[in-house]
Amino acid sequence: MSRPTLALLAVATIAVGCYKDDVRALGGPASRMPMAKVLLTDDPFPFDSVQSVQVYIVSIAVSTHPDTGTSADSMHWVTVAAPHRQVDLLTLQQGLTDSLGVGEVTADQYKAVLVTINVDSSAGIRFKNGSPAVVRWNGSGQESYGVFVEAPINIPDTGAVIVIDFDVGRSFVYNQLGDGAFDFFAAIRAVNRAATGNISGAVTHDTSAGPAGPVADATVSAWGGGPNNWYILSTGKTDAAGHYRLAYLLPGTYIVGVIPPAPSASNYASAVDSNVAVNAGAETTHNVTLSVFRGSVLIQGAASMLVNHTNRLEAFVVNAQHQQDTSASVVWRNLDTTVLGLVTYVDSTRVARVTSKAVGTGRIVAASGGLAYTLVIHVAPDSTP
């Protein structure tokens, strides 16, 4: 089998395909082996007070064997790039990438990717005033992190470009212990760039709060998966003109959610669209218009049940000032009585109980005034004796 070459990018440019001449320029052998390039990108960091997030990347390795959660030491890994340098993840936004290196691999399907970081050498996070933030890396020295590979990465004889998507916002959790520090939990995924498409557009607000205009610093997320298994695959933020771009998504249908800036900066409501299609090699345009936030109802309760079980539901009413209204009354409705049973209480309208009667999908609605929320509950068979 021939040996293509992988390259890793981490610069604010979109890389082109890597061929034989590229290998020579990097000091590699003058061979006719196909190549694969690996790109590093990130989803924009959600905190406006941060000016840089620097991580020292040691190496990227791939394996044809799936990562089943066993020790990485027991798997056969091929190192495709070893940059040994700092990368500022905040400079990689809206699909921009940074080149990390080039390495040869056998033409095959790769089902696991391993990113090795030196946490002691990582410069970490710095606030806009220049002061360093406290980062708990949950490790020391060189640490290796398994990457989420949504679909096997095919490396043909002609080579390929692999994108390592480093989600800063989900990898560095802020103020989890109330001490103003960041906790590191690596959220990284890998895809073959040739197999992906993008979602881009603009987030604006309507005239419900004055003249229409762009919404800056809104968080935009793409959810993949399916019923009972939705998960965030990519997040980004809008720029000053309200533009955003979620890059390197595999073909499929995504839920796109938009969360406006904190109430102190705006008073717009969130928006969700559950039917945004992505095609390989194409850019899907998805524009979003936000309206003034007038309050909301939330239901706390499980979204899936086994048949013939009972769960507790509780509704929370939030007013237009983003404060919980504990005095608001709630009216419950069951839209699918063949699948679910619903019991409400006189002494507390905010609490109800739902019983799963049959396999299927049911909907429970909690309403308060002109506000309402629908909880979709999936009922599965109970296989216990």
Domain match, 40 and 170 both: yes
* Residue numbers of the domain that contains 247: 197-290
Q: Is the pLDDT of residue 322 over 90?
A: no
Domain match, 227 and 120 both: no
Give the CATH number of the domain where residue 265 resides.
2.60.40.1120
Domain match, 254 and 203 both: yes
Domain match, 77 and 222 both: no
pLDDT of 330 reads 93
Strand 197-205 versus strand 283-285 pairing type: parallel
pLDDT of 15 reads 26
Which of 92-101, 284-293, 371-380 is predicted with the least confidence, judged by mean pLDDT? Answer: 92-101
Domain match, 108 and 150 both: yes
What stretch of H or E contains 168? helix 168-171
The one-letter amino acid at 116: T
Q: Is the pLDDT of residue 249 over 90?
A: yes
Distance CA 283, CA 293 (A): 30
Q: Among 153, 177, 194, which residue terminates a domain?
A: 194
* 181 lies in some domain: yes
3-state secondary structure 174-223: ECCCCCCCEEECCCEEEEEHHHCEEEEEEEEECHHHCCCEECCCCEEEEE
3-state secondary structure 275-338: EEEECCCCEEECCEEECECCCEEEEECCCEEECCCEEEEEEEEECCCCCECCCCCCEEEECCCC
Provide the CA 193 distance to its chain's centre, in angstroms. 17
pTM greater than the 0.85 cutoff: no
* 322 lies in some domain: yes
Distance CA 119, CA 110 (A): 26
CA angle (311 as vertex; 310, 316 as ends), nearest 5: 150
List Cα–Cα distances, 107 to 163, 195, 258, in angstroms: 17, 16, 39
Q: What is the percentage of the chain residues whose pLDDT exceeds 70?
A: 83
pLDDT of 272 reads 86
Q: Is the pLDDT of residue 47 over 80?
A: no
Q: From the CB of residue 144, how many other CB atoms can be counted at a distance below 10 Å?
A: 16
Residue in the structure block whose two tokens are 């979602």: 199
The predicted-structure confidence for 115-162, as pLDDT tens digits, reads as follows 999 999 999 999 989 999 999 999 999 999 999 998 898 888 888 888
Is 15 in contact with 194 (CB distance < 8 Å)?
A: no
Give the CATH number of the domain where residue 302 resides.
2.60.40.10
Domain match, 58 and 112 both: yes
